[in-house]
A and B are shown apart, each in its own frame.
Chain A
């Protein structure tokens, strides 16, 4: 059984388009995240989301918006795509610690979505 799944696995689109990446976890975790990995393999956290509390990395453009319909899903919507948005996007989830979420709890990653903006 897949613990953290993402769709699509590959996404090729034109500049200016709007696209979404879906993430689902079946681990019963309370906290979910989105990460961006650039072409040099550098990983950077974009968002963490726990029980309707969203923490945004201030360096992320507001064209990126996470949406969580329920605890098991955290989707990433991107407006007006730019060339620099090309990257691999990873979703992750983690269990709660003492009732509070923490971005440093043990994290389980999805397989990634490779986004290419032409």
Chain B
């Protein structure tokens, strides 16, 4: 299967700071998603971004499929941004969908 690596594994930020999370993957894919798992365990889809750039409020994501990486930007972080951010990649057919190891983010007031 595809190897999906995320960095950094852990991140602690002061409220209001900006951050960039990275996702590298080992094979060509045509679909990529970012998820946030909050401290209560709920998984929320943030972006469906196989290529290009998308923005949603303070969050934005960029995927460069040809270079096999994606970036998630968090600006003006808030304590509610705390949790684990996962990148997941796959193809448009079948059951192949691979999650990365996650970045654990803690935003302190």
Contact = CB atoms under 8 A, between A and B. Distances in A.
Interface string B26-67: 000011110101000111110010100000000000000000
Given A88-B41, A111-B41, A111-B42, A103 B33 contact: no
A106 interface: yes
A109 B44 contact: yes
User: Which interface class (under 10, 10 to 19, 20 to 34, 35 or more) fits B?
Assistant: 20 to 34
Size class of the A contact interface (CB-based, 8 Å)? 20 to 34
B102 A103 contact: no
Contacts of B90: 103-104
Contacts of B50: 104
A48 B33 CA distance: 17
Contact of A103 (B42, B43, B84, B94): B94
Contacts of A107: 33, 45
A55 B95 CA distance: 6
A108 B43 CA distance: 8
A92 B86 CA distance: 15
Given A41-B84, A43-B86, A107-B33, A90 B43 contact: yes
Interface of A: 41-45, 47-48, 55-57, 88, 90, 92, 97, 100, 102-109, 111-112
Nearest 7 A/B pairs, CB to CB: A104-B31, A55-B95, A109-B43, A43-B99, A103-B97, A104-B90, A106-B48
